[in-house]
């Protein structure tokens, strides 16, 4: 019995499965399953028939390589990861589940990378622009993962933790840190009103509360 796998060695998604081998009667059979449908091709126990099946599969593999895979472009899937923008906030979802909304695309990409690590899932990632086009942002997400691709890399320049109290250079009122994403900046909200938020990208504009 054999099972086809993808280019990274992972079994094909449950929605498509190809298996071949001998059945209980000794006949050579090829079974293709897609969702709730299964098609089985049996070529009996004759060597020439099994050999012809093998040649046909080999030719099919070459055709796929030459005519499809060489110019392959992934397309969005419902179980992929997405960043969309609405009213100045960048919304993140992973496998159909909302992760959160953030003040910039860079911050959203970091949080999407973190959500992938937390969930142990690493699907393709897309940014949906104002025109509804899907842009491949896989490289943007993977840069926040470690070399093995299964954990977050260290984010340089992080100074604050959520809940820290800070002051800004242009307002005589304390603020609370929502999140610090190093080079992607710090989001803060006015103390006493979490709905009034600012995204600070120049750290010189902030100073920690030392009182």
Residue 156 located in a structural domain: no
In the predicted structure, residue 11 carries a pLDDT above the cut 60 = no
pLDDT per residue as tens digits for the range 92-140 = 999 999 999 999 999 999 999 999 999 999 999 999 998 889 999 999 9
Check whether residue 61 and residue 107 sit in a common domain: no
Model confidence at 15, pLDDT cuts 50, 70, 90, reads low
Q: pTM for the full model?
A: 0.68
Residue 50 located in a structural domain: yes
Residue 153 located in a structural domain: no
Rounded to an integer, what distance in angstroms lies between the CA atom of residue 187 and that of residue 157?
A: 14
Check whether residue 24 and residue 64 sit in a common domain: yes
Residue 151 located in a structural domain: no
* Highest mean predicted confidence (pLDDT) among 29-38, 54-63, 74-83, 175-184: 175-184
Residue 152 located in a structural domain: no
Check whether residue 96 and residue 137 sit in a common domain: yes
Check whether residue 67 and residue 6 sit in a common domain: yes
Return the pLDDT at 99: 97
Domain range spanning residue 170? Answer: 165-208
CA end-to-end span of the chain: 70
Count Cα atoms within 13 angstroms, Cβ side, for 125: 24
Strands (E), 13-54: 16-22, 28-34, 37-42
Check whether residue 172 and residue 200 sit in a common domain: yes
Check whether residue 64 and residue 88 sit in a common domain: no
Residue 30 located in a structural domain: yes
- Number of domains, the chain: 3
DSSP string, 113-152: HHHHHHHT----EEEE-TTS-EEE-HHHHHTTB-TTSSSB
Query: Reading across the β-sheet that carries 193-200, which strands appear in turn?
Result: 193-200, 186-190, 171-180, 165-168, 206-208
In the predicted structure, residue 63 carries a pLDDT above the cut 90 = no
């Amino acid at each position: 019995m054999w099972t086809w796998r993808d280019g990274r060695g992972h079994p094909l998604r449950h929605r498509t499965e190809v298996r071949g081998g001998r059945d209980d009667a000794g006949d050579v059979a090829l079974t293709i399953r897609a969702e709730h449908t299964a098609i089985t091709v049996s070529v009996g126990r004759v060597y020439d028939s099994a050999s012809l099946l093998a040649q046909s599969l080999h030719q099919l593999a070459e055709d796929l390589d030459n005519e499809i895979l060489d110019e392959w472009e992934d397309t969005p899937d419902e179980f992929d990861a997405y960043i969309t923008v609405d009213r100045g906030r960048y919304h993140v979802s992973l496998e159909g589940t909302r992760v959160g909304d953030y003040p910039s695309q860079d911050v959203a990409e970091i949080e999407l990378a973190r959500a992938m690590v937390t969930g142990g899932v690493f699907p393709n990632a897309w940014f949906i622009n104002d025109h509804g086009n899907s842009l491949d942002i896989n490289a943007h997400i993977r840069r926040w993962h470690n070399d093995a691709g299964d954990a977050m890399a260290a984010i340089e320049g992080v100074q604050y933790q959520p809940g820290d109290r800070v002051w800004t250079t242009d307002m005589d009122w304390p603020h609370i840190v929502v999140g610090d994403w190093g080079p992607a900046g710090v989001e803060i909200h006015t103390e006493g009103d979490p709905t009034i938020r600012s995204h600070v990208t120049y750290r010189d504009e902030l100073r920690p509360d030392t009182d």
